[in-house]
Amino acid sequence: MRSDTVKKGDARAPHRSLLRACGIDEKDFSKPFIAFVSSHVDIIPGHVHLNEVAQYVKRCVTEAGGVPFIFNTIGVCDGIAMGHDGMKYSLASREIIADSVETMLQAHQLDGMICIPNCDKITPGMLMAAVRCNIPTIFASGGPMEAGRTENGKPLDLISVFSKAAAKINGKLSETELIDTERRGCPTCGSCSGMFTANSMNCLCEAIGIALPGNGTILATSQNRKIMYKKAAKLIVAACRSSVDNENDRTKKPLLPRDIITRQSVDNAMILDLAMGGSTNTVLHLLAVANEAGLDYSMKRFNELSEKTPNICKVSPSCDYHIEDVHNSGGIYTILGEIRRGCPDLLNEKVPTVSGKKFGKVIDEYDLRSPKVLGEAQKMYAVTPGGNRTNKGMSVKQTVQKVSDLKLSFDPYDCIRPCGKAYSQTGGLAILYGNLAPNGSVVKTAGVLPNMLKHTGPAVIFDSEPEAYEGITSGKVKSGDVVIVRFEGPKGGPGMQEMLGPTTAIKGVKLDDSVALITDGRFSGGTAGACIGHVSPEAAAGGPIGLLRDGDIIEIDIPARTLNVKLSDEELNSRSIPLHESTIKTGYLAKYKTLATSADTGGVLKW
């Protein structure tokens, strides 16, 4: 075992002495040492319950014959960090997380790992570390939050609160209405209830093959998550034992992250993202994970797949469906099953998954509409929201035994549509190129109103996210305008802030059907509308977005995949980027900005 490096031989007596002080005894030295990477912190609702989850999984690993060791990573709540300088640390935290996980695994020579993430940068940070260290690994997230409800039963989520806040600032909502939405919007622990970045990444972990079915959609409050955690514990111990038992037989050795995360499986994850209209941040993170895995993967691949992948599922912020509705409709593998039925040979079905089964076999067994669907899958998809305000994970008992017993308030075949009834025959994300974005930019087409798929208007320029929010809510932006927010890329921010404040402000002041927003920053998965991010190169790296002036005419053509400013090359070349001196001179962000690359490379660090 890898862990024999610290526990075998006379020279390791001091090491064993230290391990004994941690509660390890003689019988444990022959067992695999399993790392538990929990991202438990008390200030993120998606993570507040993860200590309990980690303790439960720890018991499961002990029962399975392994020796568990828990350590934690940091976590940033993008919602709480939003709209102030704290957001500069969000994307930057991804690199700290990857480095910290690598440090713990390598320093202590642990044999295998279960990652227990949930929100935003934590999942991709752990994925980057997993392919970097390449030891047996399974992802088992904390699960999504239940949707909130108004008094009359209409669904709410965090984006509802952001939009109401902007409306209140603009004088279009009463304080009573805002407080009521605030109290109802986020009712339980778990990652926020729409198809935002956290849930998008946890769902993509299923498609990429590094997590078990249900990872992205079983509610955080449901006791049924325990079934998935117990399976993960048994699988990781078996994988670590297999690496020893079959040391010289490669055909029987366990699957490692780089065996699972390949160009083909990244394609599968991207196809899922396109089919369900996931967060634009997934483009950023998949590129970063692919980079860590040494894969040749670029933004252009997303457009190639988008042309072949219909958008068959929309979830908040693109509509009123939430993750709990996707789950009750059959979850991630039912989305993939519909893609397989409607677009034969698009998915790579022969790639391996952490379950030990080929990807196509897992679709057979967990696609709710498959004739081969397992009974345990049907029970899993019958998990419904508990409807009680709680920060306790795994606290709600499941009483429904069959999906057929559910009395849903919606049509599952509308929530997850067959390809013949898709929202569009191309994917829910698109990469746009042009003289404003020579290296590309990203838009969530699933959230764009039909009349905004093509838009031409004058630029209204802001050099920071807070300036843009204030300008929108104060009335500086008018119908027909194109809001430009620049110097917010990985290097320029530094840290590539999310633009959830400005985008929800546009919606809150009722301009979402007539105003577009373009930025070298990024968006929350909760963003909807004609919002184009990741413009590369960014302004701080000399990109054309830094050359724009107020009133320049911007042309957006999403169907044609183009983003241009109506200026000649000569005019652009005659301009210079205005001086934008960052006030950040010391600390982590000062180091980060010297190494960060633009979004088209995943915003990774290079030195």
Backbone angles phi, psi at 154, to 5 degrees: -70, 135
Cα three-residue angle 230-233-236, rounded to 5 degrees = 150
CA distance 173 to 165: 8
524 a catalytic residue: yes
DSSP 78-143: HHHHTTSGGGHHHHHHHHHHHHHHHHHHHHHT-SEEEEE--STTHHHHHHHHHHHH-S-EEE----
CA distance 77 to 70: 21
CB atoms within 10 A of CB 541: 18
Cα three-residue angle 357-324-38, rounded to 5 degrees = 65
CA distance 548 to 533: 16
CA distance 501 to 359: 39
DSSP 519-566: ESSB--TT--SSEEEEEES-GGGT-GGGG--TTPEEEEETTTTEEEES
Contacts of 335 (CB under 8 A, 6+ apart): 272, 275, 276, 312, 313, 326, 416
In terms of Cα–Cα distance, which of 229, 231, 204, 234 is closest to 126?
A: 204
Task: Report which residue type is found at 246.
Answer: N
CB 202 within 8 Å of CB 122? no
Contacts of 385 (CB under 8 A, 6+ apart): 146, 147, 219, 221, 324, 396
Q: Which of 163, 200, 370, 524 is catalytic?
A: 524
Per-residue 3-state assignment (H helix, E strand, C coil) for 18-65: HHHHCCCCHHHHHCCEEEEEECCCCCCCCCCCHHHHHHHHHHHHHHHC
In terms of Cα–Cα distance, which of 88, 388, 381, 360 is closest to 221?
A: 388
Residues belonging to the active site: 524
